[in-house]
Amino acid sequence: IYQTRDKYAYRLNTMPEYYYEKVYGQIEYYFLHNFEDKEYMLAYIKVCSNVITNDQLDFKYFTRFKFHEFIDVQIIDHCVGFFHLGSQYFIIDRENEVDD
pTM: 0.72
Low-confidence ranges of the chain (pLDDT < 70): 95-100
Mean pLDDT score across all residues of the chain: 89
Report how far Cα 69 is from the mean position of its chain's Cα atoms: 10
pLDDT, one tens digit per residue, over 21-39 is 888 999 999 999 999 999 9
What is the DSSP secondary-structure string of 55-86? TTTTEEEES-EEEEEEEEGGG-----EEEEET
State which H helix or E strand residue 5 sits in.
strand 2-6
